[in-house]
Amino acid sequence: MNITVIGTGYVGLVTGTCLAEVGNDVLCLDLDPGKIAMLNDGRIPIHEPGLEEMVARNTAAGRLRFTTDAAKAAAFGAVQFIAVGTPPGEDGSADLQYVLCAARNIGRHMTSHTIVVNKSTVPVGTADAVRSAICEELGRRGADISFSVVSNPEFLKEGAAVDDFMRPDRVIIGADDPHAVECMRSIYSAFIRNHDRLMLMDIRSAELTKYAANAMLATRISFMNELANLADKVDADIEQVRVGIGSDPRIGFDFLYAGCGYGGSCFPKDVRALLRMALENSTRLSVLKAVEEANEAQKRLLLRKIRDRFGSDLSGRRFAMWGLAFKANTNDMRAATSRVLISGLLGAGARITAYDPVAMPEARRLFPKDSRLAFAASAVEALRDADALVIVTEWKEFRAPNHAVLRELLKQRVVFDGRNLYKPATMRASGLEYICIGRR
């Protein structure tokens, strides 16, 4: 099948590459010439495990190509996946300008019956707006060409997106056209061969499902973070609490780890968009509002713990920071806790030496001119001359540090752990002052 994918960010590039991997001919469109030049040169603009090799393999096989030509892309695919960004507006609502621009380009250039698939995370009702935009462009051309609009939300985790696409736990299709449904079944049949995980629903329910899923996960994280803060006050251990409640099959263990707040391109944006959607429909989502407020407070928790230990004025102090990305296995620093912490520490007069396996180029872009923020070539190198270590991201290489090296290089032998990676008793037995979140 000939498939066009519009957008080459996380969702678009992963979608296009994985569709090519199972034999489809895929043309990826992006209006950013620099990004397309990079892809045509064999490089990818994001860090995603396994993706670069898959892109190279399918490009070499001729199944995956990249272009900036909107007319060529619209004419190529019988199915057109819209996978562009929906950044938050000032009021928290999802900005649909790129989605509607993609729809208008399809309407402007399509030559035969086309199935238009919304892969971007969009508010309820966006399919109607896409349909209207395409109809408007067809009307301008005086063209009578049939098309269908489908909602097919993505459920890809950054850092595991390739595996999530190739082995989905569910594929949600929102459609009202039987032909479009069968076409989508055909596309996804290669990914759900062992049992049918395709779920068919109406378009608006499919659009809402994506927001509901991310909001539920964000709620679990903020709930555990607030319990961890309570555990700090009452001398309980949040790790033991996690095991105790996670053992209940009605609850389960996923997304029950306390820490220094969630970030990234999805949870913060989608929670705000869902709150805005509720407001526009005269409905209150009180629980979700509390989730957002709790997370914003949690991002400031490490800074508060550092100030409690060293005082409000951090002039003359240097902190080693392990981790900059919002989570492991990505270079994404959008809404990352590290950004809040860096700004807070620098604002209090401190100096920082940071290390992250892949996100340091992005950090240099975000903090380009502050000489008080330095970057180290390794985790150990970041420790030199530091008063304390602050752990922000749960990279695997941070999970088993050499305690003797920590004792030797840290001037104050203090470790602030925003991800609860270590056992408190082990750290203290090693002669380290260990300050974490909700652990005894």
CB contact at 8 A, 336 and 295: no
Q: Which residues contact 362 (CB under 8 A, 6 or more apart)?
A: 324, 325, 331, 332, 333
For residue 186, the tally of other CB atoms under 10 A from its CB is: 11
Nearest CA-CA partner of 20 in 73, 76, 61: 61
Per the document, the length of the chain is 440
Nearest CA-CA partner of 48 in 332, 317, 277, 322: 332
β-strand 64-67 against 79-82: which pairing, if any?
Answer: unpaired
Whether 260 is catalytic is no
Task: Report how many helices (DSSP H) and strands (DSSP E) the chain contains, helices first.
Answer: 18, 14
Q: Which residues contact 401 (CB under 8 A, 6 or more apart)?
A: 379
Identify the DSSP state of 149.
E
Q: Rounded distance, CA 327 to CA 336, Å?
A: 8
Strand-pairing partners, residue 29, are 6, 67
User: CA 1: distance to chain centroid?
Assistant: 29
For residue 159, the tally of other CB atoms under 10 A from its CB is: 20
CB contact at 8 A, 403 and 433: no
Q: Rounded distance, CA 143 to CA 140, Å?
A: 8
Q: Which of 28, 183, 260, 266 is catalytic?
A: 266
For residue 246, the tally of other CB atoms under 10 A from its CB is: 16
Burial (CB < 10 A; 0-12, 13-18, 19+), residue 286, is exposed
Structure tokens at 113: 């019956």
Residue carrying the six token digits 């100030």: 307
Active site residues: 266
